[in-house]
């Protein structure tokens, strides 16, 4: 013990001068303590005296929160969103059906258990009725609050919109045309004329579309004569185009057909390149005459088709 005391005494006498100077510099001459842990950005950096009693009520601490209820009124609401009372009562009655009075009685040895089950069922039915009624009351209360808030907000907006301009704003604003200061829709003296013109344009467009639709229906009707609609017509078309295996129609070269024979080579070999070049070496005048004849034939066929369409009133 004496040795420890002497050690502390020596340590006090041989203390570091630098540490001693640091501790001596921290001493202040003021009577108030300095808040070294509070920065200048904190509102508590400047000590402001507070009243002994606060003038506001503390917020209550809510323990937990109410869960979002299940939507049980989706299909029993009117177009305005209100729950139909008759449908709600019918749904509650269907969900909590009372036991039948004509059910068979339980045996004496099971009477206690059956009585307990009946009491439990009655408690469940009562809780279900009370829960659905509470959900309905909560929904109606919430709807009333939202409706009142909406009416209040709408009234405030209407009041702000219809409020006249303040005098200081009128005197200090820049030069603005009186037409631009008009509230509400701008005047449109030619509105009826423009509407009538647009109605006529719309009617003409509808008429053109109806004509196109009628023309398309008539074309479909004319082309529907060759449509295949059942299996019998499909078999007939296959038989017509391809024939049977015993009487197969064969096609040769140059667009001609071969009715008899078993090979495509019955009509001969296909034309060679030399033959094709000989045909292409015909005279210029001959080719021009052939081209003119083909052109006149095409023009005549096109005119006949147009005349037939005008007479029949539809596409051919």
List, for residues 235-285, the tens digit of each pLDDT value: 888 888 776 554 555 545 444 554 544 555 666 677 777 777 666 655 565
Q: What is the mean pLDDT of the chain?
A: 77
149 vs 151: CA distance, rounded Å: 5
29 vs 200, residue with greater confidence: 200
Q: For 33, list phi and psi in degrees, rounded to 5.
A: -80, 145
Is the confidence at residue 47, as pLDDT, over 80?
Answer: yes
pLDDT > 70: percent of the chain: 70
User: What's the whole-model pTM score?
Assistant: 0.35
- pLDDT at position 192: 92
Helices and strands (H, E) in the chain, number of each type: 9, 2
- Highest mean pLDDT: which range of 8-22, 72-86, 219-233: 219-233
Q: Look up tokens 């001609």; give the residue.
A: 256
CB 136 within 8 A of CB 143: no
* Rg, the chain, Cα only: 51
Strands (E), the chain: 250-251, 257-258
Residue 77 has what DSSP assignment?
B
Question: 179-219: per-residue pLDDT in tens?
Answer: 676 666 777 889 999 999 999 999 999 999 999 999 888 88
Among residues 65, 63, 70, the alpha carbon closest in space to that of 135 is found at: 70
Structure tokens belonging to residue 79: 């177009």
Is the confidence at residue 158, as pLDDT, over 60?
Answer: yes
Question: 86-132: per-residue pLDDT in tens?
Answer: 888 888 888 888 888 877 777 777 788 888 898 999 999 999 999 88
Q: Beta-carbon neighbour count of residue 24 at 10 Å?
A: 8
Q: How confident is the model at residue 145 (pLDDT cuts 50, 70, 90)?
A: very high
Instruction: Please state, in angstroms and as integers, the Cα–Cα distance from residue 38 to each residue in 50, 51, 304, following that order.
Output: 18, 22, 103
**Three-state SS at 251:** strand
CB 316 within 8 A of CB 309: yes
**Three-state SS at 257:** strand
For the chain, the domains span 85-161, 209-259, 283-316
């Amino acid at each position: 013990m004496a040795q420890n005391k002497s050690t502390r005494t020596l340590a006090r006498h041989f203390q570091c001068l630098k540490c001693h100077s640091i501790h001596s510099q921290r001493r202040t001459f003021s009577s108030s303590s300095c808040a070294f842990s509070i920065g200048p950005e904190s509102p508590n950096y400047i000590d402001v005296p507070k009243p002994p009693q606060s003038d506001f009520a503390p917020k209550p601490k809510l323990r937990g929160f109410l869960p979002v209820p299940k939507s049980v009124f989706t299909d029993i609401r009117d177009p305005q969103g209100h729950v139909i009372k008759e449908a709600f009562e019918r749904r509650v009655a269907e969900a909590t059906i009372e036991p039948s009075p004509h059910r068979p009685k339980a045996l004496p040895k099971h009477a206690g258990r059956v009585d307990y089950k009946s009491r439990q069922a009655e408690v469940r039915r009562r809780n279900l009725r009370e829960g659905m009624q509470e959900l309905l009351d909560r929904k109606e209360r919430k709807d009333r609050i939202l409706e009142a808030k909406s009416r209040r907000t709408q009234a405030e907006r209407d009041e702000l919109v219809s409020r006249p301009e303040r005098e200081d704003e009128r005197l200090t604003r820049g030069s603005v045309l009186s037409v631009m200061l008009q509230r509400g829709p701008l005047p449109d003296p030619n509105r009826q004329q423009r509407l009538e013109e647009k109605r006529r344009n719309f009617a003409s467009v509808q008429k053109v579309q109806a004509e196109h639709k009628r023309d398309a229906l008539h074309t479909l009707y004319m082309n529907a004569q060759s449509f295949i609609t059942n299996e019998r017509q499909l078999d007939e078309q296959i038989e017509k185009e391809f024939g049977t295996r015993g009487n197969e129609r064969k096609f040769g070269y140059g667009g001609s057909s071969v009715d008899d024979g078993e090979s495509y080579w019955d009509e001969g070999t296909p034309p060679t390149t030399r033959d094709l070049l000989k045909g292409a070496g015909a005279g210029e005048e001959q080719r021009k005459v052939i081209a003119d004849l083909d052109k006149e034939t095409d023009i005549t066929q096109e005119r006949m088709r147009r005349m037939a369409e005008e007479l029949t009133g539809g596409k051919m």
